[in-house]
């Protein structure tokens, strides 16, 4: 089941971009986004805020165009550093 695959992937990595998750489960980003919304409603994942950027020159982190998701319910945890080279959200 794709929802289970997404949860396992995020649990292993702590956080990943929408593009990385979509590639991992071999699905379109829009479909994965809908699945992530379902998982968010259930408190299994949350949309994370990229903090400080990843060090690449693309500036996606700085402009807020990177959709980053993290495993577990939303908490007051610190901002996450996204993986370098994460593709933009469509």
22 and 90 in contact (C-beta within 8 Å)?
Answer: no
The pTM assigned to this predicted structure is: 0.71
C-alpha distance from residue 11 to each of 15, 43, 70, 72, 90 (Å): 8, 13, 8, 8, 24
20-37: per-residue pLDDT in tens?
999 999 999 999 999 999
Residue 36 neighbours by CB distance under 10 Å: 23
Higher pLDDT, 24 or 88: 24
50 phi-psi bin (left φ>0, alpha ψ -120 to 50, beta other): beta
Using a pLDDT cut of 70, give the percent of the chain over it: 66
């Amino acid at each position: 089941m794709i929802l289970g695959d997404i949860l396992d992937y995020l649990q292993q990595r702590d956080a990943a971009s929408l593009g990385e998750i979509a590639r991992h489960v071999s699905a379109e980003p829009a479909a994965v986004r809908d699945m992530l919304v379902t998982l968010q409603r259930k408190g299994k994942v949350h949309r994370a805020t990229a903090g400080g950027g990843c060090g690449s020159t693309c500036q996606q982190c700085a402009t807020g165009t990177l959709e980053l998701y993290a495993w577990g319910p939303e908490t007051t945890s610190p901002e996450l550093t996204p993986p370098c080279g994460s593709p933009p959200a469509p």
